[in-house]
Amino acid sequence: MNQSREDTAADRLERLEQETERLKSQLRKATRQISILQSVGLVALAGLVGGGYYLIKTGMIRVDGISQGVARGVEAKELGLYNRYDDRLVLGTYDKFGLPQLIFMDKQKRYRMGIKVWPEGDGTPGLVLYDAVGPRTYLRLDESGAAVLDLMGTNQKGGIAMAVAPDGTPTLRLTDQAGKVLWEAPTNLDAKTTPAVDVRSKDHPRR
């Protein structure tokens, strides 16, 4: 009887020692894993700190109070400039053709000036000035390469349009509010040899 009890106690002690060894083994494994994670975390943290320092030092990222000088470059798909009242009055973006445009607005968010590239002629640059109603002045190159200046009244009624072709041929046209030509030079206009003077377009810079 006593021998049986002693055997049972010995078995329990042996199982307890085995469980203890198993727990020790798991603890060692967990400790190694924690050490590995700590090492990886330290390396990642050092990389982030070093990368951030490099970006700030090279001016690629600016941080107030830390960065020095002016940023070397800024890249964005859209650019907005705001005044002191948090109103966006300047917008740099792309039109429906993927061509760039820069729009200037007044405090009422009405267009006042637009600088853009038109799709005609494989991309032609121009400038549009606006009053409170719509465009009043066009200054641009048209699809034929002519330099054109078009001055008009409100709602694009009447005006003075002048152009100079790439070969130097000039054109001048005056129209009334109904669009009737009042005077033009040269008087014998030939569409094949003289530049177009009507560059009024519905494709204005858009927000």
Domain boundaries, the chain: 1-74, 79-185
Residues with Cβ within 8 Å of residue 149, at least 6 apart in sequence:
137, 138, 139, 161, 162, 163
The 8-class DSSP code of residue 179 comes to -
Q: Scanning the structure block, which residue is given the tokens 């600088």?
A: 115
Of 59 and 185, the structure prediction assigns the larger pLDDT to: 185
Determine the pLDDT at residue 190: 54
Determine the pLDDT at residue 98: 93
- pLDDT of residue 189 exceeding 60, the answer is no
Determine the pLDDT at residue 33: 85
Determine the pLDDT at residue 84: 92
- Range with lowest mean pLDDT among 123-137, 158-172, 185-199: 185-199
- pLDDT of residue 54 exceeding 80, the answer is no
| Average pLDDT value over all residues in the chain | 83
Q: For 33-49, what is the mean pLDDT?
A: 84
Strands 181-185 and 88-94: unpaired
Q: Specify the pTM.
A: 0.61
The CATH class given to the 79-185 domain equals alpha beta
Q: For 83-109, what is the mean pLDDT?
A: 94
**CA–CA gap between residue 138 and residue 186 (Å, rounded):** 21
Of 27 and 94, the structure prediction assigns the larger pLDDT to: 94
**CA–CA gap between residue 18 and residue 6 (Å, rounded):** 18
- Range with lowest mean pLDDT among 49-53, 97-101, 130-134, 149-153: 49-53
Q: How far is CA 42 from the centre of its chain?
A: 36
Determine the pLDDT at residue 180: 92
Residues with Cβ within 8 Å of residue 157, at least 6 apart in sequence:
177, 178, 179
Strands 147-152 and 159-164: antiparallel
- pLDDT of residue 199 exceeding 70, the answer is no
Q: For 129-152, what is the mean pLDDT?
A: 94
- Range with lowest mean pLDDT among 41-55, 123-137, 160-174, 186-200: 186-200
Phi-psi region of 159 (alpha: psi -120 to 50; beta: other; left: phi over 0): left
Neighbours of 21 (CB within 10 A): 10
Of 67 and 139, the structure prediction assigns the larger pLDDT to: 139
CB of 104 within 8 A of CB of 193? Answer: no
Neighbours of 28 (CB within 10 A): 10
Residues with Cβ within 8 Å of residue 19, at least 6 apart in sequence:
none
